[in-house]
Chain A
């Protein structure tokens, strides 16, 4: 039995060809057990959480809180706030921690490599509060300028940096970034959206103050993610959304809040999604992630070499620890035409700016074609991919 058999969507055809899904950095496919768990939840246990004493409410609450237990044990974290995804998790830091702890004149450090979801929330806060944003440049070898990083830390209150770039696949030297930030007295948020699918990070040991990620990039459902927070940073956070579930008591003269993660989970939460995510963790716990990551990185590296040989520019380096992502451009064939031809043959790839326009500006381009590999992809698929690419180049270049 191959891993593929666990994913019903991977047996479908696209335009008369077997689907080869290479858009995993955007979202991964879901194993049957995740789909079943969500369907089972709605068929059997659907109720609101934390609110009633009836049996269904108890099952729904258990299902939802079970996901938090999975996250805390998977990542060895003390506090896990369930959010709508990476984007919402970062916005929660901006509004929940940033508003309470940053004032006019304070500086925060971002990098040119960030996804828009780790830029725009800070720009909004910066405009509102008069906070200075410093951007760490990306060098020609696609790595961060560490000298500039160290210089930018002076009097900085917060650093927000992507663990693994969704465009380049480059894994930043996160351990060093974290210890340098702390040495300078700054807190640090890691955007781990592209890291957690491949790397089972130990949050305590990792020592970042905040870490944001999404379920849908690691075989879980869309619409749910998490923010891991260190206890002392957690104590410095103020609620940013008010509503039901997050309060202790409400009177017309004021309210008191819950002390735990619920304080930041106002309203009816993502219950079915949490149940689905738990099933994804359970499924992934039976997979040898490091072995797969090495295998996929080798496939990405092989693909990158082939593409270079065919005259493409490849943006990335595919070193140990990097994401299994290949971003590339042809000198004459437009990336969208390429993606359309590939789609005609059943291959799903992404084109465009990948929500990282500052990075693409830095690279002097407006978009790339991106093939990203995950657990169910194989070397055989990469070889077929290169065959089609070669056909397109021969025909249209």
Chain B
């Protein structure tokens, strides 16, 4: 599948790293990429189920353009959210809905994270897609 440019660049960069610590450090840095979702707005409805840490998100679709706002108490989880942010923010809902979660695997991130965290990524991704479909 052809990915949007920003995401493709990230995938390429990750493909050069094979040390797991470095992969995690990189994901950790991606936590800076999220659009802030203030803790005051966190609720049961915004919560990502299946994450062991507290992770919350909200999706806004304005004039057909997607904006993900999110945050987590684990920086690595928030880094995954940063990754999804790069993959979808500023793009049309129609485009974003074409996206499959496989890119995380391609980046070696799913392999590098435990099954429960991989589930967490899957739940994060699915929740984002669901919210977009509802709000489209």
Contact = CB atoms under 8 A, between A and B. Distances in A.
Contact of B76 (A337, A345, A352, A367): A337
B46 to A, nearest CB: 18
Given A16-B19, A343-B114, A336 B24 contact: no
B56 interface: no
Contact of B53 (A334, A341, A395, A396): A334
Contacts, number: 42
A387 to B, nearest CB: 13
Nearest to B53: A336
A396 B24 CA distance: 12
Interface of A: 15-16, 333-334, 336-337, 340-341, 343-345, 351-352, 367, 395-396
B31 to A, nearest CB: 10
B77 interface: yes
Contacts of B117: 336, 340
B113 interface: yes
A344 B21 contact: yes
Nearest to B21: A344
Given A334-B75, A340-B113, 7 more contacts: A334-B73, A336-B76, A336-B117, A337-B74, A343-B20, A344-B24, A345-B21
Contacts of A352: 52
Contact of A351 (B19, B20, B52): B52
A396 B28 CA distance: 9
18 contacts: A16-B20, A334-B53, A334-B74, A334-B76, A336-B53, A336-B76, A336-B77, A337-B28, A337-B76, A340-B24, A340-B113, A340-B117, A341-B21, A341-B24, A344-B20, A344-B21, A344-B23, A351-B52
